[in-house]
Amino acid sequence: MIKFPSFRNKKRKVSKAISDIEQHDLERQQFREVLESINATRIPDRLKILDEFLSVELHITLHDMLEFIEAGGNHDFDLDFLAETMDMFCHCGFAQKNEFESQDTTYEHNHLGDHHDHFICTSCGLIREFRNNRLEGLQLEIASEYNFHPLQHKMEIYGLCEDCLAKREVNPPLQLAAVGEKVRIVEIIGSREMQARMAAMGLGPGTLLEIINNNPAGPVIVAAHDTRLALDLPMAQSILVAHSCRHPGKS
């Protein structure tokens, strides 16, 4: 049995007794002991990867990590060896693997005792961490109501970041709306025939739509009036919409 040396979270205020360098050294010592205990191969190389990983405070993919390592002058690692080593980090509690929808797998530091959740922008891929003590308390309260003992959890909230919303047209065509987004129709452009088709489907200015699927290769699937509708590309291009925020009081 390997007993890890005691250490605190890496993210801390300057006033804390332990520095980031000391934290790094402790985690390196721990990982070396684990590798030696299982007679792992290429221990020096795996420790180099750990050093590089601990120096990056990002959600990072394997390919990005490999480029970062090579930029630092280390060229002795291939992608398979890196993946194997990163899996070791996760298994030993030094890293956390995230598999967010529509994104490559990313890795982040696993700071003991430091739980956080994620906002993920479906447009630019931004991953933003957040912590909310009220939310954590509410989860425990709800679990208690159901006589459930929670051990761990994760929350992933998908949407659009502030920057992506700011860059969009005020009233973009429906085809540019994001999956999961709620929008209101502000105008239907095009021929009278097109507008008549829309009216026959119950679509007009003010109609609230939720985007279910927006695959460029197929029709845009929306929910309107508790009904799923399939709109072809010309129809989706003819409907101008405005984002309908989900925040209370801002719909």
pLDDT at 248: 56
CA dihedral 139, 144, 145, 149 (to 10 degrees): 90
Question: Can you give the pLDDT of all 251 residues of the chain as single tens digits?
Answer: 333 333 333 343 333 446 778 888 888 999 999 999 989 999 999 999 999 999 888 899 999 999 988 888 877 789 999 999 999 999 988 999 999 987 899 999 987 767 889 999 988 999 999 999 999 999 999 999 999 999 888 899 999 999 998 898 889 999 999 999 999 999 999 888 988 999 999 999 999 999 999 987 779 999 998 899 999 999 999 999 998 875 555 54
The whole model's pTM is what?
A: 0.72
Q: How far apart are CA 231 and CA 62, in angstroms?
A: 38
pLDDT at 135: 92
Residue 91 neighbours by CB under 8 Å, 6+ apart: none
Which tens digits make up the pLDDT trace of 53-100? 998 888 999 999 999 888 888 777 899 999 999 999 999 889 999 999
Give me the domains of the chain, ranges plus CATH numbers. Answer: 20-113 (1.10.10.10), 127-161 (no CATH), 168-243 (2.30.30.90)
Q: How far apart are CA 75 and CA 137, in angstroms?
A: 47
